[in-house]
Amino acid sequence: MTALRRITRELADIYKQPVEGIKVDTSGENVFEWNCSIKALPDSPYKGGTFKFKIDIPQNFPFKAPEVTFLTKIYHPGINEEGSICVPILHDQWKPSITLSTVLAVIQEKVNNPSPEDPFEPDIAALLKNDKTKFMTTAKEWTKKYAT
């Protein structure tokens, strides 16, 4: 099974060279389900927070992108209420050559650097664009409430 071999190899690589600030564990013996957490960077609006998310890897990986769902609430223009994250490489820009390490790095970048461009949450994006101070205050409040 191609998917199992590749996932096992990539997981071993991630354990050998972890993405700083990200923890990855599998759901027991099931390497198709990853329980992950990301620690926000000190210069991020979410500083001090640790956000849990899961990665569900399809049986036909790498030909189909993994699904990422945030389990910790986050006030972010690119992550919606259901925990879905707006990242092109997980949708229309997926390629079989993209590694799971790359996916983790892109998620980390997205979390730490919220952008009002191409949002999942237009109201949050508008606030980030038009009243950054209020956005930062709300992001910090949510981080304190849900991610610490």
Structure tokens at 32: 């198709």
CB atoms within 10 A of CB 105: 15
Catalytic residue among 19, 36, 68, 86: 86
Residue 86: active-site member: yes
Query: What is the spatial distance between Cα 107 and Cα 79, in angstroms, rounded to a whole number?
Result: 10
Query: So which residues are the catalytic ones?
Result: 86
